[in-house]
Amino acid sequence: MSTDLANLRNIGIIAHIDAGKTTTTERMLFYTGIIHKMGEVHDGNTVMDWMEQEKERGITITSAVTTCFWENKQINIIDTPGHVDFTAEVERSLRILDGAIGIFCAVAGVEPQSETVWHQSDRYNIPRIAYINKMDRAGADFEHVVDKIRKRLTPNAHPVQLPIGKEENFEAIIDLVKMKAYYFDQETFGLKYFTKEIPAEYMENAKVARAKLLENVCEFDDELMMKYLEEEEIGEKELVAAIRKGVLTNEFVPILCGSSLKNKGVQPLLEAINNYLPSPLDVPPIKALDKDSNKEIKIYPREDDDFSALAFKVQMDKFVGKIIYVRVYSGKLKKGQKVYNQTNGKKERIARILQIHSNKRKDKEELKVGDIAALVGPKFLKTGDTITIEKNVLLDSITFPDSVISIAIEPKTKADQDLLKETLSKLEEEDPTFRVSENKDTGQTLISGMGELHLDIIIDRLKREYNLQANVGNPQVAYKETISKEVTINEEFVRELGGKGHYAKVKFKLTPLSLSQLKEGEKNIFVNSISEETIPKIYWDSIQQGVMGALMDGPLMSSPVERVKVELIDGGYNEVDSSETAFGIASAKAVSEGLRQAEAQIMEPIMLVNVITPEDFVGDVIGDLNSRRGRIENIRADVNDKQVITAEVPMSELFGYATGLRSLSQGRAVYTMEFSKYEVVPANIQDKILKRVRGY
């Protein structure tokens, strides 16, 4: 089916774990006729949670893509994970989406991960709808959640619906735009729904709420403002148009409500997606770098422009091979055409184009602007790469957080050594927050990720999908290194290799940097301050490669080195013996020696920890966090006489925290944690780490 670009919605569903993302998506697919029987997360038979690990744990691990149609509009949906260990899935989805639905539990309200994903969306300026789910649950409180959304996320959020009843008495929804009540037929699992007049006992509240809605929405439409001030009747279409204006500029967030599990409220949510969330035509043009002029340009969503797309996800499939998910920003692409990878310079042919429906796929003949689909064929296309047919442009890539935890891994049999290496490489290509490295001192293979659950899933996948049995060590913190003082270092490389002389002379200045001096996603800065007369330009790339290679191997623990500015300030060459090899080696040796002289320091990952605890245990929880070198950032009241304690705590102090917290609070406190930043460890802690690593 061909869809007019104005009738296309590319949206994501974002929320804290267990807020009801997958259940809501399942209902959307059922009510739009894509599936004919609804699955349930607790039964492990939903369409979107298709991995075995997702079915067993009842959580989303990988973002799943699907497409449905509602009232002649095509809705491409990405259901994202709620667990912080899989934040990369949320990050890459938000990078390519036009709109999002934030789902909140009517009992728990704005949970820590809800805040995290909401603020991730803020970074991309994504228009959003808020949907308060689980209105049927004991303790559901619509007004309380609305208040928390306004206080913690955005003051621009306002209800466009009200619930009729709550908890076991939740029966219907009042639409403040239409001033009608929606009721849902449970015999058809909510498939049939109808409108009625608002019950008399709810009419006064509805009128007050609609007046507040009008007051806020009139700001986006001068004509509506005049009508409102003159107390004229405001029609449904006028109100919808004004709300849409506010949503598209991120100045208004409509709040809806329902119970997806009880099949109430999902069709009005689909209607709100169509009415309020943007099409590709409604969002600002995407920014790109023109590689010819080295200037920033804008790419508009036009079908007659040259093709440009961003690869945002790689998936390894045992039947199809490598599948690359892309979002198309301009032009179109036919099956069989060749594309140019602007990121790595490779030109590759597109063998197949696939329309994705969770883990099922259907062949397509072509891709058009606005599409989210998958490609088969390119071997060298990775997450964050730009592909075009002719235009020489580079789209902004995707920035992912650093991995914070590592474990050693080895195959149970020597015969599986190569297979393990090959399989880990595939998983690393799929997941940008999963890293594979080798410990220089022990020769062990290390795998690193965002948390213990993340690595558990990786090891489980090795066993199930690849039939690989592995021995794994205990989790270890993924440390980094930096320097604490500025140094200048000279290096001269004079050597005869293979009967040929090699000569290079370089001089560098190494300077420590603070995090604020680096751009987002930047680890170090290399500056070339010499002229071609000092060292010919032909050798500059080799010098930079040598520098960057040396920064991957710190002097204390062989960890990556970050927050360093390396400036090439002088050097020399020989017209006969100088070579790229010589300059690469000289640069690497110089930087390695410079790092040793610059008083290297270890940096450790700091986690942002949110503990929700009954008041009785607040003192014990704070005392325990302090004993773990934690810094208490905030304490605030939450629902049901509970307190939320926010603290920054070193990752190394959090192993076994779940057990400790359970013991402290009689099992009544819960916590979430997410990566915050890397910080230099105190001197006494650094000594302990080095003694442990060096075995003395």
pLDDT in tens, 62-71: 667 888 899 9
Position 1 pLDDT exceeds 60? no
Span 315-343, mean pLDDT? 89
Under DSSP, the state recorded for 294 is T
CA distance 488 to 567: 9
Span 439-461, mean pLDDT? 81
Position 104 pLDDT exceeds 80? yes
For 366, counting Cβ atoms within 10 Å of its Cβ (0-12 exposed, 13-18 middle, 19+ buried), the class is middle
Position 59 pLDDT exceeds 60? no
Amino acid at 686: Q
Q: Are 175 and 160 in contact (CB under 8 A)?
A: yes
In this prediction, residue 51 has a pLDDT band, given cuts at 50, 70 and 90, of very low
Predicted local confidence at residue 695, as pLDDT: 64
How far is the CA of 577 from the CAs of 265, 431, 506, 542, 636, in angstroms? 76, 43, 15, 15, 68
Closest residue by Cα to residue 335 from 306, 361, 363: 363
Position 556 pLDDT exceeds 70? yes
Span 497-513, mean pLDDT? 89
Q: Dihedrals φ, ψ of 236, to 5°? A: -60, -45
Provide the residue count of the chain. Answer: 696
Predicted local confidence at residue 358, as pLDDT: 65
In this prediction, residue 60 has a pLDDT band, given cuts at 50, 70 and 90, of very low
Q: Are 622 and 636 in contact (CB under 8 A)?
A: no
CA distance 501 to 578: 8
Position 50 pLDDT exceeds 50? no
Span 284-309, mean pLDDT? 91
CA distance 596 to 294: 37
Q: Are 321 and 376 in contact (CB under 8 A)?
A: yes
Predicted local confidence at residue 57, as pLDDT: 47
Span 662-689, mean pLDDT? 88
Query: What percentage of residues in the chain have a pLDDT greater than 90?
Result: 53
**For 521-599, where are the E strands, in sequence order?**
525-528, 564-572
More confident residue, 603 or 219: 603
Q: Dihedrals φ, ψ of 96, to 5°? A: -115, 5
Q: Are 574 and 494 in contact (CB under 8 A)?
A: no
Neighbouring C-beta atoms of residue 634, cutoff 10 Å: 9
Cα four-point dihedral sign 624, 627, 628, 631: positive
Asked which of 29-43, 161-175, 202-216, 281-295 is least confident by mean pLDDT, the reply is 29-43
Q: Is 189 helix (H, G, I), strand (E, B) or coil?
A: coil
Position 231 pLDDT exceeds 80? no
How far is the CA of 104 from the CAs of 91, 146, 223, 671, in angstroms? 19, 10, 34, 17
CA distance 544 to 548: 6
Predicted local confidence at residue 54, as pLDDT: 44
More confident residue, 445 or 497: 445
**29-64 burial, b for 16+ CB within 10 Å, e for fewer?**
bbbbebbeebbebeeeebbbbebebbbebbbbbbbb
Predicted local confidence at residue 55, as pLDDT: 47
Task: Provide the token pair at 301.
Answer: 């969503």
Predicted local confidence at residue 41, as pLDDT: 55
CA distance 279 to 397: 22
Q: Are 308 and 329 in contact (CB under 8 A)?
A: yes
Bridging pattern class, strands 157-159 and 253-257: parallel
Q: What is the pTM of this model?
A: 0.78
**For 536-621, where are the E strands, in sequence order?**
564-572, 600-614
Position 156 pLDDT exceeds 90? yes
In this prediction, residue 195 has a pLDDT band, given cuts at 50, 70 and 90, of very high
Span 662-669, mean pLDDT? 86
Q: Are 129 and 28 in contact (CB under 8 A)?
A: no
Instruction: Round the average pLDDT of the chain to a whole number and report it.
Output: 88
More confident residue, 549 or 355: 549
Position 372 pLDDT exceeds 50? yes
Residues whose CB falls within 8 Å of the CB of residue 112, separated by 6 or more in sequence, listed in order: 16, 610, 612, 644, 672, 674
Q: Is 305 helix (H, G, I), strand (E, B) or coil?
A: coil
CA distance 680 to 683: 9
Q: Are 32 and 68 in contact (CB under 8 A)?
A: yes
Cα four-point dihedral sign 230, 231, 234, 239: positive
Instruction: State pLDDT tens for residues 530-546.
Output: 999 999 999 999 999 99
Q: How remote is the C-alpha of 354 from its chain's centroid?
A: 23
CA distance 107 to 257: 12
Position 312 pLDDT exceeds 50? yes
Cα first-last separation, the chain: 68
In this prediction, residue 49 has a pLDDT band, given cuts at 50, 70 and 90, of very low
Q: Is 398 helix (H, G, I), strand (E, B) or coil?
A: coil
Q: Are 326 and 76 in contact (CB under 8 A)?
A: no
Predicted local confidence at residue 83, as pLDDT: 60
Q: Is 220 helix (H, G, I), strand (E, B) or coil?
A: helix
Closest residue by Cα to residue 653 from 696, 694, 692, 624: 624
